[in-house]
Amino acid sequence: MTAIALSGFFGTIQQGRVTHIRFWTYIGFFAGAAALAFFGDSGYDEDGFLIRFLSMQGVIWGGAGALLGLGLSFATGKSGQRSPSFIENSVPWLDGLLLMMLLMAAFTLLEPHEALISYEDQSNLISGRIVMAMNLLFLFSAVCYIMYLFAPESFIGKMATMAAWGGVYAGGTSLFLRWYESYLFLNGDIGHAPVSNLYEVFILLFCVTSSIYLTFERRYQAKAMGAFVMVLVSAGVFFGIWLDSIGQADIKPLVPALQSYWMKIHVPLNFVGYGSFAVACAAGMAWLFRERLERRGSASMLKIFPSLDQLDQLAYKAIAVGFPAFTLATILGAAWAAEAWGGYWSWDPKETWALIVWLFYGAYLHVRISHGWSGKTLAVWAVAGFLVTLFCFVGVNMYLSGLHSYGRLA
Amino acid sequence: MPQLYKSIKPFLLRFASMPLAIVLLMVLAIASMIGTVLLQNQEQADYLTQFGPVWYWVFRGLGLFDMYHAWWFIGLLGFLMTSLAFCLWHNVPRMLKEMRSRKVKLTDHAWKRMQHTHKLTLPDRDMEAVAGKVEKITGWQWLTYQEKGFTYLRGDRGRYHKWGYILVHSALLIVLIGGWMSVQFGFRGNMAVPEGGMESRISYVKGTGSESLDMPFKVRCNSFEINFFPTGAPKEFRSNLTIIDQGKEVLTSDIIVNEPLYYRGVRIYQASFGDGGSKIGLKLFRLDGSKRVDVVKSEVYKTYTDAESGISMEITDFKPFNVENMAAPGEPKKFQDIGPAVDFVLRGPGLKPVKVRSFMNPFIVNGQNQGSLMMISLTGDNRDFQSFFLGPDLTKPKEWELFHAFSKKSSGIADGGGIEVFKAAVSEVYGDKMPDDFRDVGIRTLQGMQMLPSLPWPFIPLLDDYDQVYYTGLQLARDPGMNVVWSGSALLVMGLCIMLYISHRKVWLVIEARERGMRIRVAGLANRNLMAFDSEFNDLLRDLEDNLGLSQQGASV
């Protein structure tokens, strides 16, 4: 399981010169966006920011930044030289975001007529249909990945991967689209980023989990693990459908405490953590599954499974991605709390559970790094860790009260 | 002193040992769970009813009602700090030494531990030149050493990765120290300032009681306003505050949630709001047949006692907007503001105390006036309010008169008199000018005939006018430990990234002369991220072959 070099078309555009140019163009675009926030006509107007990128003003500022970045890339890069791995690793993610934005922009053209949309009846919005497509794609992908375990045909494996990627793009696009749609009624008064309720962050969680897993799959050829990740995602999909059925999928106005730029930073970053912990959990489950297979000696399935050692490392890798992200998200959450609630730490149930999750994975890293533990205990630990995470994410919202109560089911 | 040191050293070493840290982390995690399940800092009386006297005193003794400040929890955190400190004290010198020492020579014994090994042969015998060429490979820190005809080269990447451990552990210590400073030297409390009022004292919960603290300045609330979304949900709470320091107005500013005010080390947050003693005018519609309507003036939080009947009304709250979902269940939601309402508890001789919500406006839905509205909660709980449609729209004096005229004319008639009697009553009250909504007036009056006599009170109290005053609920906090916490946090994230993403990768080259040419042995070792190191090692081999001109000859073995 060496980290494989990409070949073919995707290989070419994700390495070397082209990557270098793209990277700096993106950086330029973000700089332009930041400049718009600081020096633009009406500055940073909270949640209307995405909308402004679709306006002429956004095109001018972002475009100017991107052009500057493009110029910079020609000035700094020498052709033929390999880019640092940081750039090569981050560009595909930025590409994906750009593609989602473009898809979003395309779908805005398909939005139904104004008269068919109202705050009271949001069922005609097109993002709902894209979420449905995402649900189907993820479920189909899960079925394919499970089939792949029993019939390791490369065709089935490819379908599973494609469906999962399709789900990620459908989910991401629908979220961006929801952001846009939240401005379509009540004079755009309630528009906000789509990370404000359980339904929206569930979609985010599916996308983050799947894309982290798919990156692992591509790099380490761990396709057999997909069945476990996608089963987790599918369980979430059913929860999401249930949320929709009880009317939790509606776009609702933000309570004053959430009206802050921090929301757009704190929440997505937290879900990078949760998503990676989900992948670690799947790796742990795959470890336990493989161990059982080994004891039974079913050779055919063992052939396609990553080895125990590799699964162990994948779980660690996922936690190594999630833990710093989760730490940073919690710290930034504390910074937000210091601005909104009068103190960076209030021992609110959500905060306390975040601490518990942090301590749990902190202990995992301790025993692994300093004690060199591995194997079954850590596989179980990764699975248990995700259960704790799940309680922190959903359980606290549903069963405990506190300052984070806007995550509750209304 | 050395004697003492010697005797406590085993304990200190135990402090620094890993299993203790893991146990400590897990114990802290489990202990923290308690406080999320058991609601913290509630009223003591609520706890008493919830748990009964025995468990109440057990829990109270353990400090579970404010457990994050209980001695044992603080003790656990202190224990964690001590453990961290000794962990650093024990490991940092060793780590620094390890980072400095770079053994270039590779023994045969060490060779066996290597994750990667590779052998190359070269035709020429110029060791110096080869070593020079190897050192040109970028991305590695090279060291050279020669002994007994062998040339050793060592390359390092991520040599300072142990700083990750040091940073993470000291960062946690710094964060905990910052937290301790916040608790020790900071404060956080609440004040309620009515519009136009001034306040300088904050109160906060400590243990099982409440304490207060005087600020060195006064806060005046000039105004408080709430903006609403079209859905009726609050959009923004905004207070206009003036800080008065030593009798002088020094600062006037608006605050909203998420945008606090900062003055002399104290942050002032918009935390809550409520009624600050609004002036309330009530109309008492006497039900003794005298048609009398008394106008009463009072305030929120005051009690008005009606001298005539001995009935008292303790006014508890006032709201200028009451947005309700008017749609039938299953239909799309339809929000409508049904206007101002006042809440009061009505008590009187021989009456069961009830909570009343009395509205100023008649209830109008889909353009149809359904008369004056009142809500009554028999339990006193706001969730138990039930609507009572009184019948007449009492904001219209004529309907009050019509009710009396009709009840006077129909009294004594067995079936109430029917439409003829009603028409007579209408023409008595309205004369020739019939009301436009004659039908609705009729329905309302008939409803009133049923409803009003069944009321147990001698009058109907309806909200007449108001002059609203809010109080703004402010939270004032001073936190001298906050910046310490932020710097600790920054170090923590930095340290974690170093610790988890930078691995120490070491490669060795052992060059030895052979009869013809020379042999180069290459070995590599990484402390983690072995998958990435595989390709890194292969990259190095490729670079070696390129630099030494081997790739054309295909001379690698």
User: What is the ipTM for the molecules in this complex?
Assistant: 0.90
Stretch A343-362: mean pLDDT, rounded? 92
For position A3, what pLDDT does the model report?
A: 39
In the numeric block, the tokens 């505050």 are attached to: B241
Rounded CA Rg of chain A:
22
**Is the confidence at residue B172, as pLDDT, over 90?**
yes
For position A48, what pLDDT does the model report?
A: 63
Residues A255 and A375 in one domain: yes
Residues A324 and A336 in one domain: yes
Which of A167, A200, A183 has its CA nearest to residue A53? A183
Residues A309 and A365 in one domain: yes
Stretch B527-554: mean pLDDT, rounded? 76
Q: Does A401 touch chain B (CB under 8 A)?
A: yes
Contact criterion met (CB below 8 Å) for B235 and B227: yes
**Is the confidence at residue B133, as pLDDT, over 90?**
no
For position B98, what pLDDT does the model report?
A: 85
Q: Estimate the share of chain A in helix, then strand, then coil, as percent rounded to the nearest 5.
A: 75, 0, 25
Cβ burial of B418 (10 Å; 0-12, 13-18, 19+) is exposed
Helix, strand, or coil (residue A112): coil
Contact criterion met (CB below 8 Å) for A353 and A396: yes
pLDDT digits (tens, 9 = 90+) for A38-49: 777 665 565 566
**Domain-terminating residue out of A26, A54, A87:** A87
Taking CA atoms, A61 is separated from A21, A32, A43, in Å, by 19, 5, 12
Residues A245 and A378 in one domain: yes
Question: Angle at the Cα of B195 (from B189 to B197), degrees rounded to 5?
Answer: 70
The pairing of beta strand B150-157 with beta strand B141-147: antiparallel
Please provide residue B472's backbone torsions phi and psi, each rounded to the nearest 5 degrees.
-105, 130
Find which of A328, A356, A365 to mutate to test the B interface (most B CBs within 10 Å of its CB). A356
Q: Does B487 touch chain A (CB under 8 A)?
A: no
Please provide residue B512's backbone torsions phi and psi, each rounded to the nearest 5 degrees.
-135, 145
Q: Does B177 touch chain A (CB under 8 A)?
A: no
Q: Does A1 touch chain B (CB under 8 A)?
A: yes
Stretch A85-114: mean pLDDT, rounded? 87
**Is the confidence at residue A391, as pLDDT, over 50?**
yes
DSSP-assigned letters across all residues of B385-415: -EEEE-SS-TTSHHHHHHHHHHHHHHTT-TT
**Is the confidence at residue A56, as pLDDT, over 90?**
no
For position B332, what pLDDT does the model report?
A: 65
Residues A365 and A333 in one domain: yes
Residues A348 and A274 in one domain: yes
Question: Angle at the Cα of A341 (from B237 to A402), degrees rounded to 5?
Answer: 100
Per-chain mean pLDDT for chain A: 86
**Domain-terminating residue out of A72, A87, A102:** A87
Residues A186 and A66 in one domain: no
In the numeric block, the tokens 């609705």 are attached to: B440
CA distance B168 to B152: 35
**Is the confidence at residue A410, as pLDDT, over 60?**
no
Contact criterion met (CB below 8 Å) for B479 and B300: no
Residues A150 and A52 in one domain: no
**Is the confidence at residue A148, as pLDDT, over 90?**
yes
pLDDT digits (tens, 9 = 90+) for B325-380: 777 666 666 777 888 999 999 998 888 889 999 999 988 887 788 888 888 888 87
For position B553, what pLDDT does the model report?
A: 45
Q: CB–CB of B29 and A331 under 8 A?
A: no
Q: CB–CB of A343 and B230 under 8 A?
A: no
Q: Does B328 touch chain A (CB under 8 A)?
A: no
Confidence of residue B13 (pLDDT cuts 50, 70, 90): low
Stretch A2-28: mean pLDDT, rounded? 70
Percent of chain B with pLDDT over 70: 94
Q: Could you give the residue ranges of the DSSP H alpha helices within B107-190?
A: 108-111, 127-135, 163-185
> How many structural domains does chain A have?
2
**Is the confidence at residue B225, as pLDDT, over 70?**
yes
Category of B255 on φ-ψ map: left (φ > 0), alpha (ψ -120 to 50) or beta: beta
Stretch A166-173: mean pLDDT, rounded? 96
Stretch A318-343: mean pLDDT, rounded? 93
**Domain-terminating residue out of A87, A108, A134:** A87
Residues A182 and A165 in one domain: yes
Closest partner CB to A1 (pick from B233, B499, B531): B531
> Can you give the residue range of the structural domain that contains A58?
1-87
In the numeric block, the tokens 């004594």 are attached to: B412
For position A302, what pLDDT does the model report?
A: 80
For position A45, what pLDDT does the model report?
A: 60
CA atoms within 13 A on the CB side of A357: 32
Closest partner CB to B18 (pick from A119, A366, A396): A366
For position A113, what pLDDT does the model report?
A: 84
Question: Which positions 491-520 of B are in contact with A (Cβ < 8 Å)?
Answer: 492-493, 496-497, 499-501
Residues A200 and A241 in one domain: yes
Residues A78 and A189 in one domain: no
Contact criterion met (CB below 8 Å) for B180 and B173: no
In the numeric block, the tokens 């983690």 are attached to: B528
H and E: helices and strands count for chain B: 12, 24
Q: Give the highest mean pLDDT range of A133-142, B94-103, B125-134, B274-283.
A: A133-142
pLDDT digits (tens, 9 = 90+) for B270-311: 988 888 889 999 999 888 878 888 898 999 999 999 888 889
Residues A339 and A390 in one domain: yes
Confidence of residue B557 (pLDDT cuts 50, 70, 90): very low
CA distance A5 to A203: 31
**Is the confidence at residue A80, as pLDDT, over 60?**
no
